[in-house]
Amino acid sequence: MKKALILAAGLGSRLQHRTIALPKALVPVNGEPVLAHQLRALTGNGVERIGIVVGHAGERLVEFVAGGFPGLAVEYFWNREYQQSNSSYSFWQAREWVRSEPYLHFNCDILFPPDLVADLIRDPHASAIAVRRDVVLADQMENVAIRDGRITRMSIKSFPEAVGKAYGLAKIAPTEAALMLATMEGHLAHGNKNENCYGLIRQVIDGGAVFGALDASHRTLYEVNTLVDLDHAETRLAAELPAAGPSRE
C-alpha cells in the first residue's frame, strides 16, 4: 500500500490555547508534533504518496513538512470552509485522490507506531479499522460490534453488543471509498457539510459495507483530542514511542 490520507483541517478547539495559531497536527507530543510521528510511521512502511487535507493554520503545516521531511511526496487539499464544516467535507476535498486505489486513512490526532501500520496493511480485509477492546466504552466514542473479525455495527451511542472502540486509523479500498463518497454526495445535496467522516463509515456499514476490525488492544494507539488526552500522552508515551529530538515547534 503506497498512499495515505491525513485529515488535518479542523480547529482542534478542544485543545484550547494549544491550537489558537497552530494546526492540531503540529501539537507536540513526546518531543515532536503528532504529524511527525505519523509521517515517520508511514515512510517506515514504504508509503510513498501522502495526501493531507489542511485548513486551520494550514500554511504552518505545509511549512513544517517542507522543512522537516524534504523530498517527501505530499499533495495538499484545502478545506477552505473548515470553520463551518466537519471531517467528511475534508474527505470530500480529496475525493478524486482516494477513488482509484486502496489507501491508509488517518485522523491527524492519532498516535501509533510503525508496526501497527504494518499490521493494518497486512489485515486480510480490503478495508479495516483499528479497534481497541481494552477501553471503557461510553457515548461520544465510536462503539463497535464485531463478528468474525468484521465490524457489524458502529455507533457514537453505547449499545449492549459493543465490544470495542474504533480509532481514526484505517485502510480503505476503492469499493468502500466509493460508498462513502456517494453517501457524502447525498449529504451535500441537502446542504449538509457537518457530518463526521466516521459518520460516513457508520452509514455504509449499516448498508452492508465490509470493514475488518484490526485488534489493537494493549497497543500504542491514542487520540489527542483534549488537554487531558495530551497530558495522558505526554506522561505515557515516552516509554512506548521512539525517542524524539527537540520539538520543531
Which residues, listed in sequence order, are joined to residue 171 by a DSSP beta bridge? 104, 128
Confidence band, pLDDT 50/70/90 cuts, at residue 243:
very low
Domains of the chain: 3-239 (3.90.550.10)
pLDDT of residue 98: 95
Please list, in sequence order, all residues whose beta carbon lies within 8 angstroms of the beta carbon of residue 97, skipping any fewer than 6 positions away.
Answer: 3, 5, 51, 75, 77
For the residues 94-118, what does the mean pLDDT come to?
94
Q: Is the pLDDT of residue 122 over 80?
A: yes
pLDDT of residue 246: 37
Q: What would the pLDDT profile of 145-204 be if each residue is shown by its tens digit?
A: 999 999 999 999 999 999 999 999 999 999 999 999 999 999 999 999 999 999 999 999
pTM of the model: 0.91
Distance of alpha carbon 60 from alpha carbon 22, whole angstroms: 7
Q: Is the pLDDT of residue 244 over 60?
A: no
Confidence band, pLDDT 50/70/90 cuts, at residue 235:
confident
Q: What is the DSSP letter of 8?
A: E
Q: Which residue has the cell 515517520?
A: 40
Q: Are 225 and 109 in contact (CB under 8 A)?
A: yes
Secondary structure E strands in the chain: 3-8, 28-29, 32-33, 49-54, 73-78, 103-107, 110-111, 128-132, 143-147, 150-155, 164-172, 212-215, 222-223
Confidence band, pLDDT 50/70/90 cuts, at residue 19:
confident
What radius of gyration do the chain's Cα atoms show? 17
Distance of alpha carbon 119 from alpha carbon 116, whole angstroms: 5
The vertex-57 CA angle with 247 and 89, nearest 5°, equals 120
- Nearest in space to 206 (alpha carbons), one of 152, 157, 165: 152
pLDDT of residue 11: 81
Q: Which residue has the cell 505515557?
A: 236
Distance of alpha carbon 83 from alpha carbon 90, whole angstroms: 11
Q: What is the DSSP letter of 9?
A: -
Other Cβ atoms within 10 Å of 137 Cβ, number? 16
pLDDT of residue 227: 80
Q: What would the pLDDT profile of 217-234 be if each residue is shown by its tens digit?
A: 999 888 887 888 787 777
Strands 212-215 and 110-111: unpaired
pLDDT of residue 245: 41
Q: Is the pLDDT of residue 55 over 90?
A: yes
pLDDT of residue 249: 40
Distance of alpha carbon 8 from alpha carbon 30, whole angstroms: 19
3-state class (DSSP) for residue 244 = coil
